[in-house]
Amino acid sequence: MHSASQDRAPIYEALQKYKAMRIVPFDVPGHKQGRGNPELREFLGERCLSVDVNAMKPLDNLGHPVSVIKEAEELAADAFDAYHAFFMVNGTTSAVQAMIMSVCKQGDKIIMPRNVHKSAINALIISGAIPVYVNPGVNNALGIPLGMSISEVKKAMEQHPDAKAIFINNPTYYGICSDLKTITELAHQKGMFVLADEAHGTHFYFGENQPLNAMAAGADMAAVSMHKTGGSLSQSSFLLIGSRLNIGHVRQIINLTQTTSASYLLLSSLDISRRNLALDGKNIFAKVTSLANYGRDEINKIGGYYAFSKELINGDSIFDFDTTKLVVHTRDIGLAGVEVYDILRDNYDIQIEFGDIGNILAIISVGDRALALERLVSSLSEIKRLYMRDKTGMFDHEYITPDVGMAPQRAFYSEQHSLPIRKSAGQISGEFVMAYPPGIPILAPGERITEEIIDYIVYAKSKGSFLTGTEDMFIENIRVVGE
């Protein structure tokens, strides 16, 4: 149970006090509480610009917290039931990178599922750690990658007993959870650290009847995107730490890349959101879950769509399911998810999180209302009526097992030349190709390019997926390893 102190928000309180003191600023930022940039002040508001301030004694310093930020970190650790919590202002990307770089040096192995976010593979490029991929199973009917099966994890650990850590997505973008507790116990028996990417799992810490969160499972570190489902500003995040790590060392790793001009707008938004969720998270996420369940039931009544849920659970590669995720399989109405995504935005003014080859995902969170969900449901019903077509010839899977030819760092920094993607089969990729969102690579540096991957890239482009990652902004050419 949280201590009574959860109703405090030290950073927010310190900013209120600073504002009341009417300080004359001869420090940065140069807009001087908005006076130097009237258009920005008009756009964002005077209240916002007046607290966009520099680290100063009364407001503490994120890189070396000794007062209000330190207190806010302690409250966050208490709320998440972690040993320590770091406030992150470079996004969950920097939290993921800090996790990997805290436990892996150059040449160290790390076990991870291949459907990780790009930020995890970027951490390998920066640190020189070597990935040992556990290929997730695939549900071919839905075309989605699953969680990590225990037998695959055991196999990877037996083949690579020298691995330093295991990295787990909890949940995946599609709401699928692995058996975090069993994997954590196996890893700890082998002396490996357990790192969890909980970018999409903030609510696991505060809602009732949610899948197990990483700290409760005994993981060593977890990256939690407070901004995704917890209500804080974009780019703000928490890095949670278990008791087996050296906090000072992790802080040094964070400070290698995190800005020394931390935004107090981001910091205070984390502080306030943590307080809200600690005090009222149960009610908030009960409402979110019931809204998502309502949406799922109504969409499944339309026919043709399939909004999946806990019925997928198999006790292993789908150990649990996050019912706040409204994921809808669209292929049976003859439309790729990304096509439904585009129609919703262009014709119905509805912006969902993403569409891939076979599915769409609507994020339901602390700010949603029933009326908006009714509008989504009725729009999907109309889209089926107007656009449904024969589904033959549609791609049926979202995940292709990679063939890793060399370490990501070596491939990324090697001599490379550019080739048309259609002519690159057999080569080793020097760069990423991915659909964003979700930002899970189709190809990563060091992986062999196959005809299947090329077909997938061409198909995804033709359906309107937003592909990114290559130096060539048009994704026509790819840099491959070799002179």
Along the 483 residues of the chain, how does pLDDT read in single tens digits? Answer: 445 589 999 999 999 999 999 899 999 999 999 999 999 999 999 999 999 999 999 999 999 999 999 999 999 999 999 999 999 999 999 999 999 999 999 999 999 998 899 999 999 999 999 999 998 888 888 988 899 999 999 999 999 999 999 999 999 999 999 999 999 999 999 999 999 999 999 999 999 999 999 999 999 999 999 999 999 999 999 999 999 999 999 999 999 999 999 999 999 999 999 999 999 999 999 999 999 999 999 999 999 999 999 999 999 999 999 999 999 999 999 999 999 999 999 999 999 999 998 999 999 988 899 999 999 999 999 999 999 999 888 877 667 888 899 999 999 999 999 999 999 999 999 999 988 777 788 999 999 999 999 998 998 888 888 899 999 999 999 999 997
pLDDT of residue 1: 42
Q: Is the separation of the CB atoms in 127 and 109 below 8 Å?
A: no
Domain 408-481 has CATH 3.40.50.2000: no
State both tokens at 353. Answer: 């999180």
User: Is the torsion defined by CA of 299, 301, 302, 305 positive or negative?
Assistant: positive
pLDDT of residue 4: 53
State both tokens at 118. Answer: 């790009």
pLDDT of residue 136: 85
Q: Is the separation of the CB atoms in 305 and 330 below 8 Å?
A: yes
The domain defined by 279-387 folds into Aspartate Aminotransferase, domain 1 (3.90.1150)
pLDDT of residue 397: 67
Q: Say whether 408-481 and 61-278 share the same fold.
A: no
Distance CA 46, CA 33 (A): 8
Distance CA 53, CA 266 (A): 11
Distance CA 109, CA 447 (A): 17
Collapsed DSSP state (helix, strand, coil) of residue 4: helix
Distance CA 464, CA 101 (A): 35
State both tokens at 38. Answer: 């009237």
Amino acid at position 28, single letter: V
CATH of domain 61-278: 3.40.640.10
Please name the residue that has the structure tokens 């979202």.
Answer: 398
Please measure the distance between the N-terminal and C-terminal CA atoms of the chain and give it in whole angstroms: 60
176's CB contacts (< 8 A; 6+ apart) are 144, 146, 147, 312, 317, 318, 321, 322
Distance CA 122, CA 87 (A): 21
Distance CA 176, CA 67 (A): 39
User: Would you kindly state where each structural domain of the chain is located, as residue ranges?
Assistant: 61-278, 279-387, 408-481
What's this model's pTM, rounded to 2 decimal places? 0.95
Nearest to 238 by CA among 211, 261, 207, 204: 204
pLDDT of residue 259: 95
Distance CA 450, CA 471 (A): 20
State both tokens at 49. Answer: 């610009």
